[in-house]
Amino acid sequence: MEERANQDNIPPLQIGLTYNIKKNIKSEIIDIEAELDSMDTVQAIKAALQSDNCQVELMEADDSLPARLAAGPPHIVFNIAEGIQGRGREAQVPAILNYLRIPFTGSDETTLSVALDKALTKRLLASYHIRTPQYQIISQAHPRMTGHIRYPAIVKPNTEGSSKGISDMAIVTNRQELYKLSGQNIAWYRQDMLVEEYIAGREFTVGILGNGNEIRVFPPMEIVYLNRKSNYNIYSYTVKQNYKQLIRYDCPANISGETEKEMVRTARRIYEILACRDFSRIDFRLTEQGVLYFIEINPLPGLAPGYSDYPMLAEFSGMDYRMLVRNICRCALKRYNLDFDFQ
């Protein structure tokens, strides 16, 4: 491997793969580790990146990571780490990498901090006239509503992803139900709850890859709920765990050309407003009247093969898993002007 690299006068690309994995923590909260990755996903990403001119080193994002990175920094880090704790946990590894001047894939610490805070993201995007459901925050310090919100409403942790804290009972229809559920969730998840007007209608997700003039927006994918009897369909933790029985993914979505253009255009605009980099996934709801609502963005979307939405979006567009992972890395390499033989 080294001989070939030297002959071409290009050193082998050294990639560090940073991650946080599930530890099988025992808890009464069934989704306590929902955001974390399995070792299978980590190994799948490593296999996709590894080649005769590329070496991948696994780097778990634990207390030893800063010293490990400083002692032997790779050329670039492929980052999927969710962080340890706190409202800005997804920013922890990118902040360390920027401090050490190590290039990395994905959005930086500022974008990840803002995007993980659902209410802050909505407030920012609303200033750009991006339509989003009405919402309020309920906290331990302020456990009561300060104004009016239309019911039904959905209650979810304000700084979580992967549908963590969104149960099948997340929809409330009055204040009594709201206070009961929000009080329970605040105690369990130890953070503010976002109370958001429930938007009846169809649900979509849009994937984005790239930067600048090379941004590619994958065609929208619809999450079709198979339980026609339910009054409220939400992409809950239970639904994601049992997706083969409860939902169907339609891509390309059965929508008009104008609706697709609006969704793609809005997704790209959100991506650019929040200064996302390399890849992201954005969720929408579409009412029966055709009104589009932004729900949330994930600039660090899951990459579990055969399970996560983002790889599905890419696959529906003709990009298999290996190609997707390598394309994410290529986007970052180009952004940093790093010249390596990474095909």
Q: What is the pLDDT of residues 143-162, one digit of tens each?
A: 888 888 999 999 999 998 87
Rg, C-alpha atoms of the chain: 20
Same domain, 102 and 152: no
- 208 in any annotated domain: yes
Nearest alpha-carbon partner for 116 in 64, 165, 76: 165
E strands, 121-190, in order: 135-138, 153-157, 171-172
Confidence of residue 243 (pLDDT cuts 50, 70, 90): confident
| Domain identity same for 119 and 234 | yes
| Average pLDDT over all residues of the chain | 92
More confident residue, 56 or 29: 56
Predicted confidence (pLDDT) at residue 7 exceeds the cutoff of 80: no
How many Å apart are CA 279 and CA 310, to the nearest integer?
Answer: 9
Of 25 and 20, the one with more pLDDT: 20
Side by side, the strands of the sheet bearing 13-19 are 54-60, 13-19, 76-79
Strand ranges inside 236-278, DSSP E:
247-250
pLDDT band at 5 (very low <50, low <70, confident <90, very high): very low
Nearest CA among 201, 58, 211, 197 for reference residue 136: 197
Q: Give the separation between CA 256 and CA 308, rounded to whole angstroms.
A: 26
Residue 334 domain-assigned (yes or no): no
> In this predicted structure, what is the pLDDT of residue 31?
72
Same domain, 307 and 217: yes
Query: Residue 115: is its pLDDT beyond 90?
Result: yes
User: Is 336 inside a domain boundary?
Assistant: no
Q: How large a percentage of the chain has pLDDT more than 70?
A: 97
Contact 303, 325 (CB under 8 A): yes
Q: Where are the beta strands (DSSP E) in 251-342?
A: 279-286, 292-298
Q: Which is more confident, 140 or 330?
A: 330
Distance CA 162, CA 129 (A): 26
pLDDT band with cut points at 50, 70 and 90 for residue 4: very low
pLDDT (average), residues 71-93:
95
Q: Note the pLDDT of residue 23.
A: 82
Rounded Cα distance, 195 and 171, in Å: 10
Taking residues 173-182, what's their average pLDDT?
94
Going by their DSSP bridges, the two strands 202-209 and 171-172 should be labelled as unpaired
- 296: helix, coil or strand? strand
Return the pLDDT at 324. Answer: 98
pLDDT mean over 291-315: 96
Q: Beta-strand (E) ranges in the chain?
A: 13-19, 54-60, 76-79, 135-138, 153-157, 171-172, 193-197, 202-209, 216-217, 221-225, 247-250, 279-286, 292-298
Locate 259 and state its tokens. 């609706």
Examine the domain organization and report whether 245 and 265 are in the same domain. Answer: yes
> Phi and psi at residue 58, in whole multiples of 5°?
-75, 130
Asked whether the predicted pLDDT for residue 1 surpasses 60, the reply is no
| 123 shares its domain with 270 | yes
With 60 as the cut, is the pLDDT of residue 119 above it? yes
Does residue 335 lie in a domain region?
A: no
pLDDT at 33: 74
What range does the domain containing 176 cover? 135-197
Sign of CA dihedral 122, 126, 130, 133: positive
CATH number where 179 lies: 3.30.1490
Q: How many domains does the chain have?
A: 3
Cα distance between residue 88 and residue 66, in whole Å = 17
Q: What is the pLDDT of residue 9?
A: 67
pLDDT band at 14 (very low <50, low <70, confident <90, very high): very high
- Domain check: are 236 and 305 in the same one? yes
Residue 6: per-residue pLDDT:
47
Residue 38 reports pLDDT greater than 90:
yes
Tell me what percent of the residues of the chain surpass a pLDDT of 90.
76
Residue type, 95: A
2: confidence class by pLDDT, cuts 50, 70, 90: very low
1 or 326: which leads in pLDDT: 326
Rounded distance, CA 3 to CA 29, Å?
52
In this structure, is residue 219 part of a structural domain?
Answer: yes
Strands (DSSP E) found in 48-164: 54-60, 76-79, 135-138, 153-157
Q: Which residue has the higher pLDDT, 312 or 245?
A: 312
pLDDT at 289: 96
This prediction's pTM: 0.93
Considering the domain architecture, whether residues 254 and 124 belong to the same structural domain is answered as yes
Helices then strands, counting H and E runs in the chain, come out as 12, 13
Comparing 293 with 11, the larger pLDDT belongs to: 293
Half-sphere exposure of 256 (CA within 13 A, CB side): 9
